[in-house]
A and B are shown apart, each in its own frame.
Chain A
Amino acid sequence: KAGVTQTPRYLIKTRGQQVTLSCSPISGHRSVSWYQQTPGQGLQFLFEYFSETQRNKGNFPGRFSGRQFSNSRSEMNVSTLELGDSALYLCASSLAAGTYTDTQYFGPGTRLTVL
């Protein structure tokens, strides 16, 4: 079974632009979560989607948004990019949402650099 895939793998943008990242979950997985990883803050939870609905959200500004499609694929968007948005953005999928035994499997990430 194929793992979680993320596109693109690398991206360079300039301040003020916006960016859209894509995530395809493992086949059959219905929940998709997004995380941001920076050297200073480590891995931080952005939001989680299940059945096309955002169920949970981390402590990030409204510039960070996402959506999920009927086939469980997900996109996240960052508008008005800032230098501090440079990070590795990770997507994780799981079978269902909100259970303690629901293991999340991560993709390889998208490395975003904001100049």
Chain B
Amino acid sequence: DAKTTQPPSMDCAEGRAANLPCNHSTISGNEYVYWYRQIHSQGPQYIIHGLKNNETNEMASLIITEDRKSSTLILPHATLRDTAVYYCIEANDYKLSFGAGTTVTVRA
């Protein structure tokens, strides 16, 4: 079962940064935080993952609090194509336990 908590929805203006919060207060010491997104009816797309250090790639940045109980995914310059459901997941060994995610709508 999913162990992360995310807001159900959020809006973002095109061209602005989108900050997506996630609570994972029960995460264990060696579990990674993964972020995926799913555009309507497509397969989930990997975005980024991290353990305890902040991470950045060409898609996004991941900020993890020092106590590892929460994290924030940052999309630096949101575009209309970033409209999707974003999932924050505690990676458990062999499977990904998806919750309901956050529906992000980017508006022009």
Do A45 and B97 touch (CB < 8 A)? Answer: yes
Interface size of A as a range: 20 to 34
The smallest C-beta distance from A112 to any residue of chain B, in angstroms, reads: 13
Q: Tell me if A70 is interfacial: C-beta within 8 Å of chain B.
A: no
**9-residue interface stretch from A13-21, A61-69, A76-84, A102-110:** A102-110
Chain A binding site: helix, strand, loop or mixed by DSSP?
strand
| Closest residue of B by beta carbon distance from A58 | B95
The smallest C-beta distance from B99 to any residue of chain A, in angstroms, reads: 7
Q: A42-B99, A42-B100 are in contact. Are A100 and B91 (CB under 8 A)?
A: yes
Given the complex, which residues of A lie within 8 Å of B34, measured CB to CB? 103
Which residues of A come within 8 Å of B, CB atoms? 4, 33, 35, 42-45, 48, 55-56, 58, 88, 90, 92, 97-98, 100-101, 103-109, 111
